[in-house]
């Protein structure tokens, strides 16, 4: 979520964040309105909570909402969530395959 509006110092927050997920130093300067900052923090918190559940569908819903709204969240958190999302997707695919294709055959 970004705008091209300018806000007074009472209505906005200026910060320095990571540019890339593998950055070691915070190097990107941002200025966000208080309402945009609250919205971004709310989605970051919901994504963190979704990641803690270790459930594919919960993480998928949180990531989909962030991508749909085109929010500029913490890049390290987003990368961690995308990696976890991919891991959970493959785990779900494996569990589905085992359940559907590999069945127990007694006295084989």
Sorted by where each begins, the domain ranges of the chain are: 12-101
pLDDT at res. 79: 95
Considering the chain, what percentage of its residues have pLDDT values greater than 90?
52
Q: How confident is the model at residue 108 (pLDDT cuts 50, 70, 90)?
A: low
Quick check: 66 pLDDT over 70? yes
Residues 91, 22, 27, CA angle at the centre, nearest 5°?
140
The tens digit of pLDDT for each residue in 74-89 reads 999 999 999 999 999 9
pLDDT at 48: 96
Q: How would you classify the pairing of strands 28-33 and 12-17? A: antiparallel
pLDDT of residue 4: 59
Q: How high is the pLDDT of residue 67?
A: 95
Answer with the residue of higher pLDDT: 94 or 10.
94
pLDDT of residue 85: 97
Name the nearest CA neighbour of 81 among 70, 68, 67.
67
pLDDT above 90 for 49: yes
Helix (H, G, I), strand (E, B) or coil at 17: strand
């Amino acid at each position: 979520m970004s705008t091209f509006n300018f806000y007074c110092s009472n209505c906005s927050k200026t910060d320095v964040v990571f540019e890339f997920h593998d950055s070691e130093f915070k190097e990107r300067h941002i200025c966000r309105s208080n309402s945009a900052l609250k919205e971004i923090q709310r989605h970051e918190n919901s994504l963190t909570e979704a990641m803690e559940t270790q459930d594919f569908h919960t993480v998928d819903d949180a990531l989909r909402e962030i991508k749909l709204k085109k929010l500029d969240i913490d890049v390290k958190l987003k990368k961690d969530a995308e990696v976890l999302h991919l891991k959970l997707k493959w785990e779900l695919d494996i569990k589905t395959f085992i359940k559907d294709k590999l069945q127990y055959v007694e006295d084989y």
